[in-house]
Amino acid sequence: MTRRLIGTTIVASTLVLALSACGVTGSASTTATDSGPYKGLQVMVPNAPGSGYDVTGRAAVRVMDEIGVSSGTEVTNLAGAGGTVGLARTLTEKGNPNFLLVMGLGVVGAAYTNEGDAKVADATPIARLIEEAGAIFVPANSPYQTLGDLVAAWKADPANFAVGGGSSPGGPDHLLPMQLADAVGIDPGAVNYIAYDGGGEMLPAILGGKLQFAASGYGEFLEQIKSGELRVLAVTSEERVPVVDAPTLTEEGVDLVFTNWRGLLAAPGITSAERARLVGAVTAMHDSKEWAKVVKDNGWTDSFSTGTAFSSFLTDQDKRVATTLKSLGLV
């Protein structure tokens, strides 16, 4: 009974959404062919204010408005289900050329763990903007000085080895320790992963020595790393990171490169001219010195890519995430 009731309401709410989407499309199509700056561009952030997607999206919008690529861009936060709700909403904007979704690795994973129908592949890829390397770190008083020490102890008793991360299952901080475990020969299913609500909530737990190690983007912990309260055993990027004095996983003999990345998707069903215009606007944003400053201030790495390079990257990420989650029985 309840199920049917909710089913009906979903149909009703989808109808409402579809209708509103049509409304947006109708009014937007008149401006789509203009060649000047974008007016009334909508950017959707699939997470709460203050989150990584939010910071990335709002910074990009600010730069685009500042350099005159767009004006009066509207940012909307639509949090829920690790970004899946925002993704689903993007798919209902079919044919709307003025709509962008901020997304990243977390949304790819959440689309699987939430068993929704919305898949990243259904939207139109626009660009990858930045990446944030992950780090494997321990508190200053931890006995582990190298990644080798850590892995040896971890292998001996994975069940008693508390590993923390700032994302729910399917998110980047969850995927990283699982892929690391797999790469060093530990069954990912045996990993004792403790999910925190963002890096902020995890910080006291790692500083207080409640966790054996944490796997997360280093950006949020840069200040603790600088002050020596946290020790980075390895970074997960392909090459060393200038701000962190630590070897890469590959240097430590682990065959794994893992970076969290964020980028932009557009609504499905837009024409190639409309897509090219969005890519052009985002490229202009990326080439500005304002954006370079944003990337530097936030401790990100510029990893701009568009077109087929970004599309095939998305497909590859989709596969990798699916494999990891399948081995954990989450898909």
The residues binding other proteins (CB under 8 A) are: 2-3, 6-7, 9-10, 12-13, 16-17, 48-51, 54-55, 58-59, 62, 76-82, 84-85, 88-89, 113-118, 159-160, 162, 168-170, 192, 194-195, 197-198, 200-201, 203-205, 207-208, 210-211, 222-224, 226-227, 229, 294, 297-298, 330
The bridge status of strand 259-266 relative to strand 124-139 is antiparallel
- Minimum CB distance to other proteins smaller for 282 or for 295: 295
- Minimum CB distance to other proteins smaller for 126 or for 178: 178
- Minimum CB distance to other proteins smaller for 80 or for 247: 80
Q: Shortest gap between Cβ of 308 and other proteins (angstroms)?
A: 29
- Minimum CB distance to other proteins smaller for 275 or for 320: 320
Our CA angle for 120, 9, 168, nearest 5°, is 40
Q: Shortest gap between Cβ of 238 and other proteins (angstroms)?
A: 25
- Minimum CB distance to other proteins smaller for 230 or for 281: 230
Q: Shortest gap between Cβ of 320 and other proteins (angstroms)?
A: 17
249-255: long-range contacts at Cβ-Cβ below 8 A with a sequence spacing of 24 or more? 249/136, 249/147, 249/180, 249/183, 252/146, 252/147, 252/148, 253/148, 254/147, 254/151, 254/180, 254/183, 254/184, 255/183
Q: Shortest gap between Cβ of 120 and other proteins (angstroms)?
A: 14
Q: What burial letters (b/e) apply to 219-254, b meaning 16+ CB within 10 Å?
A: bbbbebbeeeebbbbbbbbeeebeebebebbeebeb
- Tell me, what amino acid is at 46? P
Give the Cα separation of 164 and 38 in Å (integer).
Answer: 42
Q: Shortest gap between Cβ of 326 and other proteins (angstroms)?
A: 13
249 CB-near residues (< 8 Å, 6+ apart): 136, 147, 180, 183, 234, 235, 236, 255, 256, 257, 258
- Minimum CB distance to other proteins smaller for 15 or for 276: 15
Q: 293 near 83, Cβ under 8 Å? A: no
Our CA angle for 112, 301, 146, nearest 5°, is 85
Q: Shortest gap between Cβ of 228 and other proteins (angstroms)?
A: 9
Q: Shortest gap between Cβ of 16 and other proteins (angstroms)?
A: 5
Q: Which of 97, 126, 89 is nearest to 26 (CA)?
A: 97
Q: Which of 130, 195, 192 is nearest to 160 (CA)?
A: 192
Q: Shortest gap between Cβ of 195 and other proteins (angstroms)?
A: 5
Q: Which of 102, 109, 85 is nearest to 165 (CA)?
A: 109
- Minimum CB distance to other proteins smaller for 158 or for 247: 158
- Minimum CB distance to other proteins smaller for 155 or for 226: 226
The bridge status of strand 230-235 relative to strand 213-217 is unpaired
